[in-house]
Structure 1
Amino acid sequence: MAPAKYQKPPQAPPKFTATESSLIEDTKRLIARSRGVQDAIVRDVTPETATFAKVTLPMARDDNKMAIESHIIGFYQAVSTDQKLRDASTEAERLLDDFGIESSMREDVYKLVDAAFKAGESLDPESKRLLEKDHKSYIRNGLGVPAGPKRDRFKEIKKRLSEISIGFQKNLNEENGGLWFSPEELDGVPEDVLVSLEKGTGDNEGKLRLTFKYPDLFPTLKYATNPKIRQKLFVDNENKCNQNVPLFQETVLLRDEAARILGYKNHAEFRIEDKMAKTPKTVDDFLGDLRTRLAPGGVREIERLLALKKEDIKKKGIKDVDEERYYLWDHRYYDRLLLERDYSLDQQKITEYFPLQTTIRGMLQIFEELFGLVFVEIMGEERDKIAETGKGSDIVWHEDVQLFSVWDDEGEGSGFVGYLYLDLFPREGKYGHAANFNLQPGYIDESGKRRYPATALVCNFSKPTPKKPSLLKHEEVVTLFHELGHGIHDLVSRTIYSRFHGTSTVRDFVEAPSQMLENWCWTPSQLKSLSHHYSYLSPEYQAAYAESSGGAKRPEETVPDELISNLISTKHINDALFNLRQLHFGIFDMTVHEPESHEDIKQLKLSETYNKLRKEISKLDGPELLNGGDWAWGNGQATFGHLIGGYDAGYYGYLSSQVYSADMFYTVFKANPMNGKEGRRYRHTVLERGGSQEEMQTLEDFLGRKPSTEAFYKELGLSG
């Protein structure tokens, strides 16, 4: 049971009791209220009397209230097991998006915002930023275009883009494809993956069904010894969502058309104007420079991996395999083999030291120590006590979900911070990647009282089996820490308006705080503290380990120093190829959003461009060599949710954010990653700010100077 002072949060957690009809009814109620607020402003205020308090503030407060319900309404489509509830959530999001477009193009409201903006009142910095952003937003939403056919077409495009985005993500969430393989075909795949697969009946008797979900896909590409099986799985995974192909095509065409209506050369110029980079040229130069620097390393890495492939094929006597080429489906397999052979890195052995639950507890302890937080898990009867309805099941959306109340420690004032949810295992219809979702933002309400945030981590780690708990690969430890970093950003943010809360920053900064925290997963002391061999969790697991290891001596309880040393020595192995993969995504993103003319984007063959660019940038071969040069063998862009869901002309942000994250870590934390004084300074200077001030200002406040690329290139071994 939690200590008494942590048993009664001042705000109940959100409820997850919606029905299909309530989702739609609640959405219509929110829209009606919001429209009423806007109508009242237009009725009661004139351009002559317009002020921030009369125009922008009432809408900002309505936005605050709207977000408390609307984020959860849209969240059901990512996590609900009920298809009808997911469909209703999708429909509700469409209604909210349509209303958002209608609101953003209200000329009567814009005239008043414009008047308030031009009044030049003295405002606090966050309110001033809100007014500036709102004013510019109306112009970027078409109100700078004269009323008439062009503006009408712009609105039409906005509506269609919203529909496409919702449909595209729904197709990805509900993708449920898979392949049937015999156990022999899956030779080499770890036993704990195989035991979790669906067993076939009828025509598939004796076979196992491998899905395209990460816990099935990645281990099979890493361990399956049969290259033909890896090839089949890789190519089919690239084609798992082909119904999204025409949606992606339509999206890039409409975005380009909309940008040109607004007077921009292309969509990239429109999108990047408001980001830290400001211009497409800055982005193109950054990506081009990085590509030039990384290319020679990529070639060297492929040469080394190809030599290993030849050796492996010869040793295993594998026939009918092209040993002169290094293919896309070779990479995870030989990358893993190289680490095992040359660095004594046994990924399966490392995995045994990272049971999911003890790793989470270890991570939360790190955040407690660094940022002055306390995490209290709420279980069983405790849930009943804090639920508004008295039913603990009402405050989670699935029985697997964990819930924590989060508090400041005594040094930070012992106040309540918010709620953290963890939804960690795959299930049908659930969002298929790892992400942080804001459920309710924090803000200051009309009475000056703080409204506390709630945030959720939605991941897809392998489920426990009767003989093993859920065990994390090291790359999954990094993923979990990264997403928890977003969650902490969301929780500790302190802004007046929900508009700027937490991760509501520009896209080319938003990843930096979480990327910086990934460094803790490569620090010996932190890896040690996170680790706990699963055989020590229970007598049953101890017996299961003894059985599976053939009675081998029980390992140390925490990960041995030698294993940590081996792991850390591999941090930058094949790093050029990893970053060239990121460059492929970033350059493809810019290519489709930066055409010379609208005709050019019409003529661009997207699947061929996606696959050709990958070959040109990463130098990894694909099936085009085996099928007579057909570059349209796969539709990877149709599985690329980021480019439809907000990272358009912004994927470069994953790489540019690393510049900032490396600079922050090396400057402040490298010497002592657990420096609580600096951790708290980071919390208050960077994380608390959210998007409430210019992100460059936030960085300069923390670093004490302008950011530098030196640490980034040094980390990649590319300095000088």
Structure 2
Amino acid sequence: MATNRLRSGVTHLVESVSPQQATFENAIRPLAEIDNEVKSSVQYMALFQAVSPSPELRKASSAAISIIDKAYLALFQHEGLFALVGAAHGNYSRSRDDIIDEEDSRLLDRFHRMFVDNGIELAGSARERYIWISRRLIDLRVAFMENLSNDPGYVWKAENELEGVPLDTLELDKDYLSAVFRISLAKPSVNSILVNCHNADTRAEIFLKSQTLYQEKNVPIFREIINLRDEAARLLGFPSYATQKLRQQLVKSPDRVRSLLDQLDRALQPMAQQELQVLHKVLMKPPRLSDFDFQHNQILKEKYHVDQELVAEYFPAQVTMRRMLNIFETLFALAIIELDNLTEICKWHPDVTAYEVWEANKSVFVGYLYIDIYPRPGKYNHAANFNIYPSYVGRDGKRTSVASALVCNVSRNSDDQPPLLRHREVITIFHELGHGIHDLLGKSKYAMFHGHRNVSDFSEAPSQLLEYWCWVPECLKRLSCHYSYLSPKYLQHWKTAKASKDALQPPMEIPDEIVHNLVAAKQLNQGILTLRQVAFSKFDMEIHNPASHNEIEAIDFSKLYNLLLQDMTGLQGPQDGLNWGSGHATSSHYIWGQEANYYSYLFTRILAADMWYTHFQSAPLNQDAGLKYRKMILNYGGSQDEWKLLTSFLGRDPTIQAYLKDIGAITLENKGEENTFERFGNNVP
């Protein structure tokens, strides 16, 4: 139905306007209205692929997405429509302020670029090949994502092989005859074992299994996608896919990405080497990737007196989620109200909670926020925010309301204990809620630029900024409530766990000492952890920016991924050599979302750190600062030049100094490197 409306709308537009008559008002704005309505009609379909309990519905969602994506692709390969867009684009000079505003100008440029990037200017066999590649890439992406939604499998382990692991954090079944546990390889269970298990062999096996998930199906799909992307970019005249994509982002070229990554590498290696020496001394052998999370947790316990399981007792999921929303209410002058009586037909699973979001004075309705944070079979295995319904100004001149969904996978516990959030899960949820808030507060005219639809190397910055609140003592105390206070049943569970009916109930609010220790440990192993992100980013650039097409065909992606991960972090794989897994094929990052853009996770952290230290560090819950940020950054979505918005908010160009200080990489010894951050943005040649 949506595809029929799309085709009929395009046909009417092409038949009613000639290229000689094409203007913004009669050609570009009607095309934007078609785009608005398509996005508002179909975006929820992608959500079902990620969250539906029904395999049939997930499969139908994938099929629908493929049909719609191909129809949308055909829209930007339509020669008659390009004649209108090209004519309108050519009719406006670079100075368009007296004719159309900045958002209109960005829309016009975006539409024109989308046609060019979809091969409209190619001819003959090159055009035919490009169109085939475009459609093939959609099919491959859908297949790759479908595989990620499949059951990841399981392993069997005896209880002694799981020493140290809180069994109620695992998705498991017990075979009582043989006294072994069937453990799911879903992300929460894998994380719990890697963090807590004392048995090095178990950790190594689980890590290896996590790196080989979906290997048989997704590794060949991954290779074909990368090869076809490179071929398509070269057909368009670009030397690589990364060159094509980066020209429209803040960091304009692969060379600049490489410069950024090399700069971080230099700044972080001395720090990481010190961290590796500590790990080596503790383990009495070179540390492996499968050892890192466990040893990191052990150092937290022994040196910083941070017990993550004890910390989690103060963050019962439902209470902490509500209090997170309260912080957003305070910062951004909102009222977020749970819909208690929402019928099951309005939710995709009973675990889902839904909220209405209003301006604080209830004068304006903003939209709906859905929260779905617990794992289940077939559900998207990572954390993300999904826009269900975008905001834009409709044909009637009225703004549509937003619907946004937070989708995570946090640890569940036994029925006698509520789901508890580890601190890293608190950070993850706060981050993804940041995307949701960006979604809800965006006020662009066009769905194309709504909410977090910024250029790809800016869109993570607002969410990464919000992670800082998870390290503020005042906020941690606000978010906390020891689970034993939630009900008599939970109090009894806590006493049973302590093996004492007379145990003194802990304080309701997380104690200052625990908060102090947690915050003091923030920089622990940040050299290694950040270099792991550098490794993933370098892999992304290597595969998307080869010197020649022959080079990309010759690369062994698994070996390259593993080599970079080992070399950058100094941590060895779970077994000798490089044939120990294909981690690149176990997540969607390089296929749908961060392709030729993984560096942005680091680049936007630099931007987020600068915004935090400039505007929020001294008074994190100051509403004036929150409203200034909302007005100057969040409201615009992607409708304005992001670099201009950022420099206006900061009052200057951003620097790397705040980020390096935040992770502990600036010391008296390397203070001279503070201001070496290369400037980026549209104003930099």
1:624-683 Cα offsets, whole Å, 9 max, x none, are 42xxx3x12211111131100021110000000011100100000011001101101111
DSSP 3-state at the match of 1:471: coil
Whichever residue aligns with residue 338 of structure 1, its letter is: I
DSSP 3-state at the match of 1:39: helix
| Distance of 2:665 and 2:597 partners within structure 1 | 24
Offset at 1:464?
4.3
Offset at 1:200?
2.9
1:422-479 Cα offsets, whole Å, 9 max, x none, are 0111111110101000000011111111101000001111234222100000000000
Answering whether residue 603 of structure 2 is matched by residue 652 of structure 1, we say no
Counterpart in 1 of 2:390? 441
Q: Among residues 102, 109, 118, which one is paired with 1:132 in the alignment?
A: 109
Answering whether residue 472 of structure 2 is matched by residue 499 of structure 1, we say no
CA contact (8 A) 1:64 1:498 kept: yes
CA contact (8 A) 2:461 2:605 kept: yes
Whichever residue aligns with residue 96 of structure 1, its letter is: I
Offset at 1:42?
1.3
Q: Among residues 322, 329, 338, which one is paired with 1:377 in the alignment?
A: 338
Counterpart in 1 of 2:545? 594
1:277-315 Cα offsets, whole Å, 9 max, x none, are 0111110000011011111211210110121123xxxxx
DSSP 3-state at the match of 2:411: coil
Q: Among residues 197, 205, 213, which one is paired with 2:186 in the alignment?
A: 213
Counterpart in 1 of 2:529? 578
Answering whether residue 347 of structure 2 is matched by residue 396 of structure 1, we say yes
CA contact (8 A) 1:179 1:211 kept: yes
Q: Among residues 458, 479, 488, which one is paired with 2:428 in the alignment?
A: 479
| Distance of 1:407 and 1:44 partners within structure 2 | 41
Aligned CA distance change for structure 1 residues 569 and 361 (closer, same or farther; 3 Å) = same
CA contact (8 A) 2:169 2:413 kept: no
Answering whether residue 11 of structure 2 is matched by residue 39 of structure 1, we say yes
Answering whether residue 673 of structure 2 is matched by residue 710 of structure 1, we say no
1:323-372 Cα offsets, whole Å, 9 max, x none, are x2211111011110011111111111101000001111111111011000
1:44-98 Cα offsets, whole Å, 9 max, x none, are 1111111112111112112211112211122111111111111111110110111
DSSP 3-state at the match of 1:643: coil
| Distance of 2:665 and 2:297 partners within structure 1 | 24
Answering whether residue 490 of structure 2 is matched by residue 518 of structure 1, we say no
| Distance of 1:41 and 1:642 partners within structure 2 | 36
Answering whether residue 194 of structure 2 is matched by residue 224 of structure 1, we say no
Counterpart in 2 of 1:185? 161
Offset at 1:550?
2.1
Counterpart in 2 of 1:330? 291
Q: Among residues 91, 109, 118, which one is paired with 1:141 in the alignment?
A: 118
Offset at 1:266?
0.7
Whichever residue aligns with residue 326 of structure 1, its letter is: P
TM-score normalised by length of structure 1: 0.90
| Distance of 2:112 and 2:547 partners within structure 1 | 29
CA contact (8 A) 2:152 2:214 kept: no
Offset at 1:396?
0.9
Q: Among residues 453, 478, 485, which one is paired with 1:529 in the alignment?
A: 478
CA contact (8 A) 2:451 2:635 kept: yes
Counterpart in 2 of 1:9? none
Q: Among residues 648, 665, 675, which one is paired with 1:701 in the alignment?
A: 648
Whichever residue aligns with residue 148 of structure 1, its letter is: G
Q: Among residues 329, 352, 362, which one is paired with 1:368 in the alignment?
A: 329
| Distance of 2:135 and 2:29 partners within structure 1 | 27
Whichever residue aligns with residue 616 of structure 1, its letter is: D
1:238-266 Cα offsets, whole Å, 9 max, x none, are 00111100011111111110111011111
TM-score normalised by length of structure 2: 0.95
CA contact (8 A) 2:359 2:365 kept: yes
Alignment coverage as a number of residue pairs: 659
Counterpart in 1 of 2:505? 554
Counterparts of 1:562-641 in structure 2 under 5 Å? 562-625=513-576, 629=577, 631-641=578-588
Counterpart in 1 of 2:214? 241
| Distance of 2:403 and 2:524 partners within structure 1 | 38
1:81-116 Cα offsets, whole Å, 9 max, x none, are 111111111110110111122111111111110111
| Distance of 1:714 and 1:546 partners within structure 2 | 42
**Superposed structure 1 runs of 4+ greater than 4 Å apart:** none
CA contact (8 A) 1:175 1:240 kept: no
| Distance of 2:517 and 2:318 partners within structure 1 | 24
Offset at 1:181?
0.7
| Distance of 1:428 and 1:75 partners within structure 2 | 15
| Distance of 2:53 and 2:529 partners within structure 1 | 34
Answering whether residue 126 of structure 2 is matched by residue 175 of structure 1, we say no
Whichever residue aligns with residue 367 of structure 1, its letter is: F
CA contact (8 A) 2:314 2:483 kept: yes
CA contact (8 A) 2:336 2:357 kept: yes
Answering whether residue 175 of structure 2 is matched by residue 200 of structure 1, we say yes
Q: Among residues 104, 114, 126, which one is paired with 1:150 in the alignment?
A: 126
DSSP 3-state at the match of 1:508: coil
| Distance of 2:359 and 2:166 partners within structure 1 | 42
Offset at 1:166?
0.9
| Distance of 1:430 and 1:589 partners within structure 2 | 26
Residue identity (%): 40
Whichever residue aligns with residue 9 of structure 2, its letter is: V
Q: Among residues 95, 114, 122, which one is paired with 2:86 in the alignment?
A: 114
Whichever residue aligns with residue 539 of structure 1, its letter is: P
Answering whether residue 305 of structure 2 is matched by residue 344 of structure 1, we say yes
CA contact (8 A) 1:305 1:338 kept: no
CA contact (8 A) 1:308 1:338 kept: no
1:186-239 Cα offsets, whole Å, 9 max, x none, are 111114225x5222377xx42211112122111111111111111111101100
CA contact (8 A) 2:207 2:574 kept: no
Moved more, 363-372 or 44-53: 44-53
DSSP 3-state at the match of 2:248: coil
DSSP 3-state at the match of 1:345: coil
Answering whether residue 52 of structure 2 is matched by residue 80 of structure 1, we say yes
Whichever residue aligns with residue 700 of structure 1, its letter is: T
Whichever residue aligns with residue 97 of structure 1, its letter is: D
Counterparts of 1:246-265 in structure 2 under 5 Å? 246-265=220-239
| Distance of 2:58 and 2:355 partners within structure 1 | 25
1:143-193 Cα offsets, whole Å, 9 max, x none, are 232x21001111111111111111111101113311011111111111422
Offset at 1:701?
2.2
CA contact (8 A) 2:197 2:203 kept: yes
Moved more, 551-560 or 517-526: 551-560
Whichever residue aligns with residue 123 of structure 1, its letter is: I
Counterparts of 1:431-470 in structure 2 under 5 Å? 431-470=380-419
Whichever residue aligns with residue 280 of structure 2, its letter is: L
1:472-493 Cα offsets, whole Å, 9 max, x none, are 0000000010001110000011
Counterpart in 2 of 1:71? 43
| Distance of 1:115 and 1:511 partners within structure 2 | 35
Moved more, 459-468 or 96-105: 459-468
DSSP 3-state at the match of 2:223: helix
Counterpart in 2 of 1:52? 24
Answering whether residue 589 of structure 2 is matched by residue 642 of structure 1, we say yes
